[in-house]
Amino acid sequence: MNATTRAVGGAVSYAALLLKAAAYGIRAGTTKRAVERLKARFQDRGASAKYLSEAMSRLTVDEPTTTAYMEVFTLSETMAANVDGIVAGADSLTTNAQGLAQETEAEHGRMAELNRTHHVQMADREFIQR
């Protein structure tokens, strides 16, 4: 890790903040994909339960059994719908994380560039340390 990404005097540097914001965006995207896979599993399980319930009804299997399978289908569909809300939240997290990185860059990028390209000797770290 170089000097621009280290914490100085307990404060997080600009570069470290940008890296954390970018990492947060990546993690939010990864979480969204995992949640989407979970939704697909709920839908698959629900479709299987519905198929079994309908097949058992045609074979005159007892009503409590066919009803139980249809309840599994209904619950699976409800869970899949609930996952949609989580996916929407993950979308918001990803968007916010990307916005945070862009806002940080806009607010502090100019100062970081000036610090990197300046020709003035900076104060000794021990001098400016709390």
- Rounded distance between C-alpha atoms, residue 112 and residue 118, angstroms: 10
47 neighbors 68 (Cβ within 8 angstroms): no
Task: Check pLDDT > 80 for residue 36.
Answer: yes
pLDDT score, position 3: 44
Task: Check pLDDT > 90 for residue 108.
Answer: no
Phi, psi of 72 (to 5 degrees): -60, -45
14 neighbors 4 (Cβ within 8 angstroms): yes
Task: Check pLDDT > 90 for residue 119.
Answer: no
- DSSP 8-state symbol, 60: T
pLDDT score, position 56: 92
Q: What is the DSSP string of 5-32?
A: TS-BTTBPPHHHHHHHHHHHHHHHHHHH
Of the pLDDT bands very low, low, confident and very high (cuts 50, 70, 90), residue 31 is confident
- Rounded distance between C-alpha atoms, residue 42 and residue 59, angstroms: 26
Which tokens is 12 given?
Answer: 């997080």
Q: Which tens digits make up the pLDDT trace of 68-91?
A: 999 999 999 999 888 888 888 877
Of the pLDDT bands very low, low, confident and very high (cuts 50, 70, 90), residue 105 is confident
